[in-house]
C-alpha cells in the first residue's frame, strides 16, 4: 500500500514532469522553425542512455520523456536541450557533452552551449579547452560577465597574467566595484610583485565588502610579509569569522540546479548555500534531497543543522523525530547529537539525555555522543554524572578542546578548581588558541589577582580574536587591574597607559573611565580629567563619588558653573546614600568656589 504522503509526492513529481514536457514542446515549436537546426540535429547521434539503475526513478523518467521529445521532429531541439540539462546537472558529463556539441552545431550563435561545454572542460581539468570555449562564449555574448570572470580566473591560474588582468578589468567595467574582479586584480598585482598596489586594492575592497573572507585571508598574508603580525592576526580572525563568501552569481550554470536529481550534489550545493548564509536556498535544496531519498539520514541532519542555526530548535527536533521511522540505515552519531542539542535548546534536558543515550546504544560509541550526553546532564544540573560522560569521551579523544572545556565548567560547578584548571590546560594542548578556554582561564586568574598569569591566556585570545567582545572585555579588565597595580606603586604614567589601552578595547568601561579621570586629577591635569569623568558620570549618573570627581575637574579647569551644579548633585546623592564624608567634601569645594 502506498502512503498518502508518497502519493502526493509522486503526484507532484508527475505534475512537474508534465510541465517540463509542455514547456519543452512549446519551446521546440518556436525554435524548430529553422530547417538548418533540424538538419544539424538529424545529422547528429543522441547519446545512448547510460545505466541509471542506481539513480532515482525521477531522473530515469525525466530522461525518458526528454528522449521521446528528441525523437519527434517537431520537438527535437527542445528534447536535446532537456537531455543536456538533465545529464549536466546530474554529472553525466559524457552524455551532456554530446548534447551540447549537437546543439552547438545546430545553433552556432547560441553562447550557452559553448559555456556549458567550458564548464565540462573545467571539471575534466582541461584548462586549454576551457579557455578556448570561454573565448568563444564571449565572442557570442561579450556582456555575459560570469564567463568573463571564469576566463580571467583560469588565465590567472595558468600564468597568463596580462590576459587575466585585461579580463578582470573588462568585468569591472561591466560591474563597477565588483569584489571578484577586484580580488582578481589584487592577485595579479601580487604575482607580478606589485605588493603596494595589491595592498591598496585589498584595503579598498575590504572597506566596501567587509564580509569577503577570501580577501581578509589574502590581506593577512600581505600584512604578515610586511611584519605587521598583530594586524595580520586580526584579518585572519576576520577571515574565519566573516561569512563564507559565495561564488559569483552565474545564472546560466545556476539554472541547471532545477534539473538536478542527484542526492549527494543537492546536499553539497545546499551546504555551500548554508555556509554562505543563504538559508532559504539551502533549505530548498535539502528538502529536494529528502524527497529524493526519504530513507537516508544525511539531508535530514543538514536541514536540522540549518534549523538550529536559524534558532528554530523545535523545527529541528520535529524533523528528526519524524524522520527516524523512515530511515532504512542506522543514522550516524550526528543525527543523535543534533536531536539532543535541539532538546537542550528547548529546555528539555531529560529528553536530551535520553536521545544521547539512545545514540550511544544504537549508533557508535563516539566522543561526540559522550559530549552530547555530558552537555545534557550538565543542563539538568547533574554535574557529577556529566563529568563521567566527558571522561568516557576524553578516553577516546584526550586532547579534544571542547570536551575538556565543557568538563571544566562542570568541575567548577562542583568546586573542584584544581581539576577544572587541569582540564582547561588539556584543552589548550592541541588547540592553543581555543578561545573559550583562553577566556575562562584568563577570567579565573583575574579574579584570583594573578594578573601576570592572566595575561598568558588573554594576550593570545585578543591577538587571535581581536574583535571578540568577551576577549576585549576581559583584556580591558586586565588593564584595569594592571593600572591599579601601577598606581599603587606610584607609577602614574604606567597606570595611565593601561587605562587608555583598556579604553581602546572597551570605550565605555566605567572603571577605566573613573580611574583614568582620577589619575589625571591627582596629577593636576584637570582639563584632561573632564572627558573621562564626564563619560563616567553619563554611565553612572547616581554615583556621588563620580559627581565629586567631575566637580573637582570642572573646578580645576575654571568651569565654575558646571562645578557648582555637579557638586550640589553629588552632595545630595551622598546624603541620600548615607555617605557623609563624600557629601562633606562636595560642600567644602562648593564653599571654596
Rounded distance between C-alpha atoms, residue 548 and residue 570, angstroms: 6
Q: Which three cell numbers stand for residue 568?
A: 550640589
Per-residue pLDDT of the chain (593 residues; tens, 9 = 90+): 334 333 333 333 333 333 333 333 334 433 444 445 555 565 568 899 999 999 999 999 999 999 999 999 899 999 999 999 999 999 999 999 999 999 999 999 999 999 999 999 999 999 999 999 999 999 999 999 999 999 999 999 999 999 999 999 999 999 999 999 999 999 999 999 999 999 999 999 999 988 888 898 899 899 888 888 878 887 887 777 666 667 789 999 999 999 999 999 999 999 988 988 889 999 999 999 999 999 999 999 999 999 999 999 999 999 999 999 999 888 999 999 999 999 999 999 999 999 999 999 987 789 999 999 999 999 999 999 999 999 999 999 999 999 999 999 999 999 999 999 999 999 999 888 899 999 999 999 999 999 999 999 999 999 878 889 999 999 999 999 999 999 999 999 999 999 999 999 999 999 999 999 999 999 999 999 999 999 999 999 999 999 999 999 999 999 999 999 999 999 999 999 999 999 999 999 999 98
Buried b (16+ CB within 10 A) or exposed e, 481-490: bbbbbbbeee
Q: Give CA–CA dist 558/551, Å, rounded.
A: 10
Asked: is 260-432 a CATH 1.10.1040.10 domain? The reply is: no
Separation of alpha carbons 78 and 66, rounded Å: 8
Q: CB burial class (10 A; 0-12, 13-18, 19+) of residue 513?
A: buried
Domains 260-432 and 471-592 fall in the same CATH topology: yes
Per domain, the residue ranges of the chain are: 1-108, 260-432, 471-592
**Residue-level pLDDT at 275:** 85
Topology of the domain comprising 471-592:
1.25.40
Asked if 549 contacts 567 with a C-beta cutoff of 8 angstroms, the reply is no
The pLDDT assigned to 140 comes to: 97
* Stated pTM of the model: 0.79
User: In this predicted structure, what is the pLDDT of residue 37?
Assistant: 54
Place of cell 564571449: 138
Q: Are 100 and 80 in contact (CB under 8 A)?
A: no
Rounded CA gap, 421 and 514, in Å?
33
Q: Maximum CA pair distance of the chain?
A: 109
Amino acid at each position: 500500500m502506498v502512503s498518502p504522503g508518497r502519493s502526493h509526492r509522486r503526484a507532484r513529481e508527475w505534475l512537474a514532469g508534465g510541465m517540463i514536457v509542455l514547456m519543452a514542446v512549446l519551446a521546440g515549436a518556436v525554435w524548430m522553425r529553422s530547417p538548418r537546426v533540424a538538419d544539424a540535429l538529424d545529422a547528429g547521434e543522441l547519446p545512448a542512455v547510460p545505466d541509471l539503475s542506481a539513480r532515482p526513478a525521477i531522473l530515469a523518467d525525466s530522461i525518458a520523456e526528454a528522449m521521446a521529445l528528441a525523437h519527434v521532429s517537431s520537438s527535437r531541439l527542445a528534447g536535446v536541450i532537456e537531455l543536456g540539462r538533465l545529464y549536466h546537472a546530474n554529472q553525466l558529463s559524457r552524455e551532456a557533452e554530446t548534447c551540447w556539441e549537437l546543439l552547438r552545431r545546430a545553433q552556432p550563435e547560441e553562447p550557452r552551449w559553448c559555456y556549458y561545454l567550458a564548464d565540462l572542460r573545467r571539471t575534466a581539468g582541461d584548462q586549454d579547452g576551457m579557455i578556448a570555449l570561454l573565448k568563444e562564449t564571449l565572442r557570442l555574448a561579450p556582456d555575459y560577465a560570469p564567463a568573463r570572470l571564469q576566463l580571467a580566473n583560469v588565465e590567472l591560474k595558468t600564468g597568463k597574467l596580462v590576459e587575466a588582468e585585461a579580463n578582470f578589468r573588462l568585468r569591472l567595467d561591466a560591474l563597477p566595484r565588483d569584489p571578484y574582479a577586484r580580488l582578481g586584480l589584487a592577485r595579479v598585482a601580487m604575482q607580478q610583485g606589485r605588493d603596494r598596489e595589491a595592498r591598496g586594492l585589498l584595503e579598498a575592497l575590504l572597506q566596501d565588502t567587509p564580509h569577503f573572507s577570501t580577501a581578509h585571508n589574502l590581506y593577512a598574508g600581505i600584512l604578515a610579509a610586511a611584519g605587521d603580525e598583530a594586524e595580520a592576526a586580526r584579518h585572519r580572525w576576520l577571515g574565519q569569522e566573516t561569512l563564507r563568501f559565495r561564488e559569483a552569481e552565474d545564472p546560466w550554470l545556476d539554472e541547471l540546479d532545477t534539473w538536478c536529481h542527484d542526492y549527494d550534489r543537492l546536499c553539497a550545493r545546499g551546504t555551500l548555500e548554508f555556509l554562505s548564509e543563504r538559508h532559504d536556498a539551502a533549505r530548498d535544496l535539502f528538502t529536494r534531497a529528502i524527497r529524493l531519498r526519504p530513507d537516508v539520514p544525511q539531508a535530514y541532519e543538514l536541514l536540522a543543522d540549518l534549523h538550529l542555526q536559524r534558532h528554530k530548535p523545535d523545527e529541528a527536533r520535529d524533523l528528526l523525530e519524524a524522520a527516524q521511522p523512515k530511515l532504512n540505515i542506522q543514522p550516524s552519531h550526528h543525527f543523535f547529537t543534533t536531536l539532543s542539542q535541539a532538546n537542550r535548546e528547548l529546555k528539555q534536558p531529560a529528553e536530551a539525555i535520553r536521545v544521547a543515550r539512545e545514540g550511544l546504544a544504537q549508533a557508535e560509541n563516539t566522543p561526540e555522543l559522550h559530549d552530547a550526553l555530558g552537555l545534557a546532564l550538565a543542563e539538568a544540573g547533574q554535574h557529577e554524572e556529566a563529568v563521567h560522560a566527558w571522561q568516557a569521551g576524553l578516553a577516546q579523544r584526550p586532547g579534544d578542546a571542547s570536551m575538556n572545556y565543557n568538563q571544566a565548567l562542570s568541575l567548577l560547578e562542583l568546586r573542584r578548581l584544581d581539576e577544572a584548571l587541569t582540564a582547561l590546560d588539556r584543552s589548550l594542548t592541541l588547540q592553543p588558541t581555543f578561545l573559550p578556554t583562553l577566556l575562562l582561564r584568563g577570567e579565573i586568574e583575574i579574579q584570583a589577582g594573578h594578573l601576570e598569569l592572566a595575561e598568558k591566556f588573554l594576550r593570545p585570545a585578543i591577538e587571535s580574536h581581536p574583535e571578540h567582545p568577551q576577549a576585549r572585555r576581559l583584556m580591558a579588565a586586565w588593564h584595569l587591574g594592571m593600572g591599579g597595580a601601577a598606581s599603587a606603586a606610584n607609577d602614574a604614567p604606567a597606570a595611565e597607559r593601561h587605562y587608555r589601552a583598556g579604553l581602546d578595547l572597551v570605550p565605555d568601561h566605567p572603571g577605566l573611565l573613573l580611574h583614568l579621570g582620577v589619575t589625571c586629577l591627582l596629577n593636576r591635569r584637570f582639563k584632561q580629567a573632564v572627558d573621562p569623568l564626564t563619560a563616567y558620570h553619563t554611565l553612572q549618573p547616581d554615583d556621588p563619588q563620580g559627581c565629586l570627581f567631575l566637580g573637582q575637574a570642572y573646578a580645576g579647569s575654571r568651569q565654575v558653573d558646571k562645578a557648582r551644579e555637579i557638586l550640589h548633585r553629588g552632595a545630595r546623592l551622598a546624603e541620600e546614600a548615607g555617605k557623609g564624608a563624600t557629601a562633606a567634601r562636595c560642600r567644602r569645594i562648593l564653599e571654596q568656589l
